[in-house]
Amino acid sequence: MTRPEDVLVQRLGEAVVEQVRFRDDLTLIVPREHMLRALEIAGSTGFRLLTDLTAVDRHPAQPRFDVIYMLTSVEQHARIRFMVHLAADQTMPSATSLWPGANWLEREVFDLFGIRFDGHPDLRRILMPDDWEGHPLRKDYPLVEEPVEFKGHTPKVPSEIIPKSKPKLL
Amino acid sequence: MAVTGPPERGPSTTLGAGTIVSRAGSPTEATEADLRALESNILTTTVGRVVSWARKNSLWPAQFGLACCAIEMIATAQARFDIARFGSEAFRASPRQADLMIVSGRVSQKMAPVVKHIYEQMLEPKWVIAMGDCASCGGVFNNYALVQGVDKLIPVDVYVAGCPPRPEALLYGFLKLQELIAEPAHRRRR
Amino acid sequence: MKETLVLNMGPQHPATHGVLRLVLELEGEVILNLEPVIGYLHTGFEKEMETRTYHQNIVFPPRIEYLATFIEEQAYVLAVEKLLGITAPKRAEVIRLILAELSRIASHLVYLGTAAIDLNVTSLLMYCFRDREEILDIFEMVSGQRMMHGYFRIGGLQWDLPQGFAERVQRFLDDFPRRLDEYETLLTDNLIWRKRTEGVAVLSAEDAIRYGCTGPVLRGSGVSYDVRKAFPYGGYADYEFDVPVGSNGDAFDRYRVRMDEMRQSRRIILQALRGLPEGPILVDDRKVALPPRRELVRSMEAVIHQFKLVSEGIHPPAGEVYASVESPRGEKGYYIVSDGSNRPVRVRVRSASFNNLQALPVMLRRGTVADVVVAIASIDIVLGDVDR
């Protein structure tokens, strides 16, 4: 029996730049310009549920952002993950034409990462107040917005209590 | 003046107008028992004390839940913990009818102006309980999104620690607030 | 052109189940447009979790979705375990499953009570919270906390079950069906309840999928998708249970689905209690789990492991995983990106309420103002989960 994700990979053909398999999760890396088409094909292959749409900030690495789409096939019980590498000044095509549910998810990514989506009907902040400055989930955005005011004592930022170890080289 | 009337009857008869009837026109006719009844039936107080006694026993909280603590607040109002024992079962949906605000949960930067607005809509006198660590000081969170304690926005009378506090803890904080209200020195501090 | 009225509802409103704000555009009583405004409980969990070690992060999940606390912990812990490539011992897995199903019952009880009180069935809220208190007592007995337990560990559990746990759960489960029947008699056979929920807030299966709805909202619309069946995790494959599915996709069907789910949860717990295995409750991997106390006095190695774990934490391999569970609101997933260091690069919380709430305007298209309350209650949102 062929698995739905294999069928999809076959149908996508050239559009998939790289396949990453880690702990049974399959991630397909797709260039930005093919993304919408790939999502459409995935939707017609049975991956009809847009489970999640999010981003990762790899700062200071380049390209800076990864935009991630997670799709689920409700009938065939399969999952697939798409990833797009995106430079800081690039925009993404909006998936709202395929899934109306992408609307809020894209607004959230815009709000917290500052990634713009072309063709989004209403790209506004969703979680933060409208007049907020900056995009909190970017790595260069400070964690502590408002320090606790205890006099004569400088509180440590939580992340400094256990220092971050160096990432292992891949 | 002699106070007469049957001694076993309650204070309403002795204090009520028209009940002071002279039996024979002479003060000496008041019996010993009459005088003793008088001693245990007259209550002297100040208006302030009476008012704060009434206030403390019928605090109406605003029905205003924020996060996890709100669930424990609901639990406090339900049968097992029964906040009605202390006269506060009437959670009011409108802040204009409430005199106690229980800030139950974390206050985000986006919610901060709303919380202040609700507080301002409440009529004087009003009290605030900061329920839980988040409302008291920010709790486990120290980041861009949260106000580090609701006392940066509005004056807080009682802080209840816990994440979330048990209903008993909230009730204890509640009794502390009642003590505060009953104490005239604290009555008009704002 | 007819005159319309713009009405603001919330964020402080008794029937919005938290700090949800709705902007309604009305023509008379009929809703023309509706826009949910969210973010009033945005806590910054995702940023906060990037700054702590994997173990410290167990604190946060129950505070995100505070009605189904154990299920949240299970979701996070399973995601980290997937990243590490380990599985918890069988006994720990079964205990987690029992507690998660109890959480589901507790959460659905809160749904039932609040949905009922929104339609003025006041007594049911009292009944539901009475039952929920019994579950919370069990939780407190196990973990020491009523709500924010922090009992699950990466690779197992903090400690073993207390004495008398099984009997206590059994006692609760023995009495529970009778009470559920009582509640059903109060609601299902109640004319007002049926008139207010049947045919109200209808969501078609097609729309539910297009908006990414999961959980009882999706199943109420007739799509049988349950993460426990579709992608079995944490030992669910070993137990027999059915996935209740509705047909009309209205508020009444969602109510029926949740009522049946409580019965199915009971069925799962009974099977799990019967087959609760003996054995260790924490993996025997010193790079992941703390060594047992008795080893600390004898072995220098154990002391070093303890020191490294406490002062630095776990170092999972670089990579990214997504693990999800079926929460009472739908698919709850954690997407964790690791670079091989002791803290995650990114933790994404896939929230079920967020997607379900997005479908609210579709449910209420041409509905009336009075139905708004019913619709919100039937989605059973947790604002902490929506805003994170």
- Our CA-based measurement puts residue B133 at a distance from the nearest CA of chain A, in whole angstroms, of 13
Nearest to C231 by CA among C155, C333, C329: C333
- For C160-186, what is each residue's pLDDT tens digit? 899 999 999 999 999 999 999 999 888
Mean pLDDT by 10 residues, chain C (388 residues): 79 78 87 88 89 90 90 93 91 92 93 88 89 92 90 90 91 92 88 88 90 91 90 90 90 92 93 90 87 86 89 89 92 91 91 90 88 89 88
Residues listed for chain B: 190
pLDDT at residue B90, rounded to an integer: 85
Q: How far is C300 from chain B (nearest CA, A)?
A: 33
Beta strand pairing call for A25-29 and A78-86: parallel
Phi, psi of B65 (to 5 degrees): -110, 145
Stretches where chain B sits below pLDDT 70 are: 1-30, 184-190
pLDDT value, residue A131? 81
* Alpha helix positions (H), chain C: 45-50, 61-64, 69-84, 90-118, 122-143, 165-187, 191-197, 205-210, 216-220, 227-230, 251-274, 293-296, 300-311, 352-358, 360-363, 369-379, 383-387
Contacts of B118 in chain C (CB under 8 A): 12
- The pTM of this model reads 0.87
Chain C residues near residue A74 by CB distance under 8 angstroms: 209, 223, 225, 230
Provide the angle, in degrees to the nearest 10, between the axes of the packed helices C122-143 and B68-77.
120
Whether B143 and chain A come into contact, CB under 8 Å, resolves to yes
Spell out the domain ranges in chain A.
4-161
Question: Which domains, ranges and CATH numbers included, belong to chain C?
Answer: 5-387 (1.10.645.10)
Using the Cβ of A144 and the Cβ atoms of chain B, whether some distance falls under 8 Å is answered with: yes
- pLDDT for B130: 92
CATH homologous superfamily of A4-161 equals NADH:ubiquinone oxidoreductase Nqo5 subunit (3.30.460.80)
- Chain C residues touching B144 at Cβ < 8 A: 44, 47
pLDDT digits (tens, 9 = 90+) for A92-140: 999 999 899 899 999 999 999 989 998 888 888 888 888 888 888 888 8
Structural domains of chain B, ranges and CATH numbers in brackets: 60-182 (3.40.50.12280)
d(CA C328, CA C50): 26
Q: Which of B142, B146, B150, B152 to mutate to test the interface with A (most CBs of A within 10 A)?
A: B142
Residues in B closer than 8 angstroms to C12, CB to CB, are 62, 64, 95, 114, 118
pLDDT tens by residue, C277-316: 998 989 888 888 888 888 888 889 889 988 988 888 889 9
> Residues of B comprising the binding site for [4Fe-4S] cluster?
68-69, 134, 163
What are B74-130's pLDDT values in tens digits? 899 888 898 888 888 888 888 888 989 999 888 888 888 888 888 888 888 889 999
The three-state secondary structure class of A151 is coil
User: Does any CB of chain B come closer than 8 Å to the CB of residue A128?
Assistant: yes
**Is A61 within 8 Å of chain B by CB?**
no
Of A128, A136, A148, the CB nearest to B142: A148
Q: How far is C165 from chain A (nearest CA, A)?
A: 35
Quote the ipTM score.
0.87
B66, B75, B146: residue with CB nearest C19: B66
The whole-angstrom separation of Cα C157 and Cα C292 is 12
User: Is B62 strand, coil or helix?
Assistant: strand
Pick from A162, A166, A169, A170 the residue to mutate for testing the C interface (most C CBs within 10 Å).
A162
